[in-house]
Chain A
Amino acid sequence: MKKIIILLLAGIVLLSACSSGSDETSESGDNDEITAWAWDPKFNIAALELGEETYAAEDKEFNLKIIENAQDDIVQKLNTGLSSGTMKGMPNIVLIEDYRAQSFLQAYPDAFYDLSDHFNIDDFSDYKIEPTSFEGKHYGIPFDTGVVGLYLRTDYIEEAGYTMDDFNNITWDQFIEIGKDVKKKIGKPMMTLDPNDLGTIRMMIQTAGSWYLEDDGVTPNLAENEALKEAFRVYKEILDEDLAIITSDWSQMLAGFNDGKVVSVAQGNWITPSIKAEASQSGDWAVAPIPKLDVPKAVNASNLGGSSLYVLDVPGKEKAAEFLESTFGSDEDFYQDLVTDVGAIGTYTPATDGEAYKKEDEYFNDQAIVSDFSTWVDDIIGVNYGMHTYAIEDILIAEMQQYLDGQDIDDVMNDAQQQADAQLK
């Protein structure tokens, strides 16, 4: 009888051992995994993948999981995540557009991991430091520059009797004058404009070192903003002179230059791959410095877009920071690869002496465009993009319509100022 009981017990133990064995799942892998959020598979995600590849040589264990989210989704998820206070589900690394960076840094400074010790700010362009820093701490490692250029169809301007020299360091008024002449001669408008996106206005006012907000990054600066008024004037004039094709989305904008409908493209350097996508136009393009506003201290250099990488204060932050430090933060060779493989121009100054930066581009008639862009990066006047770039822009889009309808610029701006003051309080 005893034997039977022992046997029974043994059987039960065996059974329970069998059933429990299969339940064990390994979750240990998650600890070493660093997650990153980015939005463009061909650009910033490709750059992060390149970074991972480079870093893998140093740390074979390193595992970066890049999650693709639309930029709007990232913004929304960050806002809900950070405001709720729970960092659950937040990534280690997140890419944030410079225009929006302050809205996060100022609202949730504790949520971000201070990277001041992980890179040398002197190695990067000054204008990138302002949006990525808050209260003296540097939270973001600059990723790409949004340095803008004036891409020109050399065949069109030659046909109209102009040379590239005519576009070197000009003002927007000079640009309009040439544009009128070109339109008359060859019937092509100069550029595309999207009335629902004032990127062009932003680009224009930064040539004068001005922004929608005061230097404090909070107070709207519209009514007394001469640069902004000047930009509005230029914008209206371009439309009045019918020098633009109106677009409403990316594909229409691409169609504008890929189909040869416009003479120039005034955009950030990130448009280069899209221009080069039309192989038949190889050799027909050149890049000139962006025209400046006709105001004092304005320079022929500006920025449009561009983003930086931030580390959130969640487990794995040290590892994430080390990864960024040894790639985006200090690796000259990595920046050469970034230009060559991804087409992303960084703002890491020591890298500009590298081969890839000096390389001439056949498509642009052997112009060393990366080198040129890098030169212009240095000239960009840093501004505090502050917290409310897009909120103010929404107001301005509507006010622009009033202005186009013939309202006085001061009235329009006063109106905008009032709305902004009311909304952003």
Chain B
Amino acid sequence: MIKGLNRFKNNGLFVKMFIVMVVSIVLVSVLITLNTFRVSEKLFIDTFSITNNKIINQINTNFETFTDVISMSFHEVQQSDKIKAFLTEKDFDAKTDAKAYYNINEQMTSITSNIDIPGINMFLVGENGRSFSTNYVNWPISKELLQESAITENTYRDPKKIMFQYDPLNLDTKTSHIIASKPLYDRETESIYGLLYISIQENELNRFYDRYTSAGNDVVIIDQSGRVASSNQKDLIGHKEMDLLQYAKEKEEDKSNYNSLEVFGKKKIVISQHIPIMDFYLVNLIDKDLVMNNLIDTKSIVMISLLIVSVAVVAVFFITGRLTKSLKLLVSQISNMAKNDFDQYVTVDGNDETKQLATTFNYMLDELHDYVNQLIETQKKQREAELSALQQQINPHFLYNTLTSINIMVQQGNKEKSADTIYALVSLLENTVGNPNEIITVEQELENMRHYVFINQGRYGDRIKVNYFIAPECLNHGLPKLIIQPFMENAFFHAFNKKESGHIHLLIAEREDDLVCEIVDNGDGMEMNERRIIQHNKKNRHLFSGIGIHNVNERIKLLYGEGYGVELSSHLGEGTTVKIRLPIIKPNNFTKTQ
């Protein structure tokens, strides 16, 4: 987890870019897909409803032709005197009956042969009690059953009209029936002499619209009582659908193409029309979701979108990875730069932009190096100039003090000693003032020291003894002028404040390929943690030159690097040791540098 977090942090740029890209791709795909669905749905429903309205009109026309045929049959039966006779004559024996039934069969056969509708049964019932079926098998009804039924009752209610009804009797047949019925009316006697029922098999009505239906596109035909008379959804047949009837009736008034309704618990587009003669309602129910699912293969569209998205995401993954990888490398190289003192170049790699960036960076690095080097050089020179300036200055107090003591010597008549002192001072001045930056031999420096010591001893007496231990092979090595003098001076003036007398050893030898000069005194010593020895002496009266001991270390390091310099060790009451470490400078070397 933490590792993952770290990776995340390290890949911050990549992750950000990648997430932004993925979110955009997904968002665009989803929006386009949804919009496609929405637009095509609307377009489809509009087109669908127009087409279906036309289809409904077509179906209705079919129904009209059909009802015309049925009406024609009613008319023919009504007009036939033989049929009237069959239904009205009374008091008959078996033989006349037999003839009558034979004749009525012939009559009715000729009428039915004109109706080109299979599966019908024309059922005649007379007031005299006779009844006749043209095709009993198709609608096996008995006179008794029929006379008690609601069909007959409804038929009498409006004797002028052919009544179409769904047959609720559920006779033992494969299909349900729609019954057209009408009383046979005698105009002369103004009485009803019989009834004609024509049974139509539901699947015959089904034929008119069946080819237009499909899954989710259903046709329902409901009679005026709200009963489903026919439908391609067989399980609906015979059920009362009052809501649908109500809707269809309302639809008669308003002339819109279609409405969306909630029917049978599903969203449906409903188109309906009235079938005039039958007084049925033709209702077309389109299951919105199902039809839409058939139209738009949601699965494949979503799959295609998913595929596109995943391909795009993979592509983005690789491209973003490549882009950010070189950038990331660059960034990590740059951020590690401080560790490598800014002298490690950046690898020029990756794409054009990062290459250019790296090149520019490297160039800038070069420039920076140059600049810094220059600056260092300048500062070094400046410091050197400062130090040499300081070195050249001979402290006037020193001169004053020395000359004063010579004066005293002269007044005391100590001619020889004063001449020696003057000689020492002259030699010292000669050596020091001449070349400030000069490398001189140990021997020369030693000479200077002797003069300096002589002057000081001349002034302050020789209670402080100075001993020189110089390795002979060192005599010809070079060292910067006046390196040792400040420490000698320091020892003279500060090491013996409490002790009356003591000695100072100056040791010069080669050690580990370095030249080491040690100034050892057995004076007061000091606490090593007190660093003031170097800084505290502000009163410069005793100092020979402007160079203080604190500058020596700096100067050596400036000249020869970090490996060299001054080490100080001191113990209270025991004395102080100053160790100066210098490179060995052979005579032929330092003559060149001059």
Which residue of chain A is the closest to B121 with respect to CB atoms? Answer: A249
Interface centre among B97, B172, B310 (most CB of A within 10 A): B97
Question: Given known contacts A8-B311, A68-B174, A250-B136, is B99 in contact with A195 (CB within 8 Å)?
Answer: yes
Q: Is B23 an interface residue (CB 8 A)?
A: no
Q: A195 — which chain B residues lie within 8 A by C-beta? A: 98-99, 101-102, 105
Q: B95 — which chain A residues lie within 8 A by C-beta? A: 239-240, 242, 404
Q: A41 — which chain B residues lie within 8 A by C-beta? A: 172
Q: Is A282 an interface residue (CB 8 A)?
A: no
Which residue of chain A is the closest to B130 with respect to CB atoms? Answer: A248
Among A12-20, A108-116, A408-416, the stretch in contact with B: A12-20
**On chain A, which size bracket covers the interface?**
35 or more
Cα separation A194 to B97 with both chains bound (whole Å): 10
Interface centre among A41, A193, A251 (most CB of B within 10 A): A251
Are B142 and A194 in contact (CB-based, < 8 A)?
no
In-complex Cβ contact of A193 among B94, B132, B172, B318 (8 A): B94
Are A4 and B311 in contact (CB-based, < 8 A)?
yes
Q: B335 — which chain A residues lie within 8 A by C-beta? A: none
Are B141 and A3 in contact (CB-based, < 8 A)?
no
Contact flags (1/0) for A90-109 with B, using CB distance below 8 Å? 00000000000000000000
Q: A405 — which chain B residues lie within 8 A by C-beta? A: 99
Q: How far is the CB of A387 from chain B (nearest CB, A)?
A: 23
Main secondary structure of the interface of B (DSSP, over half): helix
In-complex Cβ contact of A18 among B99, B100, B104, B303 (8 A): B303
In-complex Cβ contact of B94 among A71, A245, A249, A397 (8 A): A245
Q: A186 — which chain B residues lie within 8 A by C-beta? A: none
Q: How many A-B residue pairs have CB under 8 A?
A: 96
In-complex Cβ contact of B98 among A11, A72, A239 (8 A): A239
Q: How far is the CB of A368 from chain B (nearest CB, A)?
A: 30
Give how many B residues have a beta carbon under 8 Å from the other chain's beta carbons: 34
Q: A75 — which chain B residues lie within 8 A by C-beta? A: none
B residues 75-118 touching A (CB-CB < 8 Å): 93-95, 97-102, 104-105
Q: Is B19 an interface residue (CB 8 A)?
A: no
Q: B140 — which chain A residues lie within 8 A by C-beta? A: 249-251
Cα separation A139 to B102 with both chains bound (whole Å): 37
B residues 307-327 touching A (CB-CB < 8 Å): 307, 310-311, 314-315, 318
Q: Is B143 an interface residue (CB 8 A)?
A: yes
Contact flags (1/0) for B209-243 with A, using CB distance below 8 Å? 00000000000000000000000000000000000
Q: B98 — which chain A residues lie within 8 A by C-beta? A: 193, 195, 239, 244, 246, 404
A residues 391-423 touching B (CB-CB < 8 Å): 397, 400-401, 404-405
A residues 181-214 touching B (CB-CB < 8 Å): 189, 193-196
Q: A189 — which chain B residues lie within 8 A by C-beta? A: 94
Are A246 and B142 in contact (CB-based, < 8 A)?
no
B residues near A (Cβ < 8 Å) are 93-95, 97-102, 104-105, 131-133, 136-138, 140-144, 172, 174, 299-300, 303-304, 307, 310-311, 314-315, 318
A residues near B (Cβ < 8 Å) are 3-4, 7-8, 11-12, 15, 18-19, 41, 68, 70-72, 189, 193-196, 238-252, 254-255, 397, 400-401, 404-405
The 6 closest A-B pairs by CB, nearest first: A246-B97, A251-B142, A249-B136, A195-B98, A239-B95, A249-B133
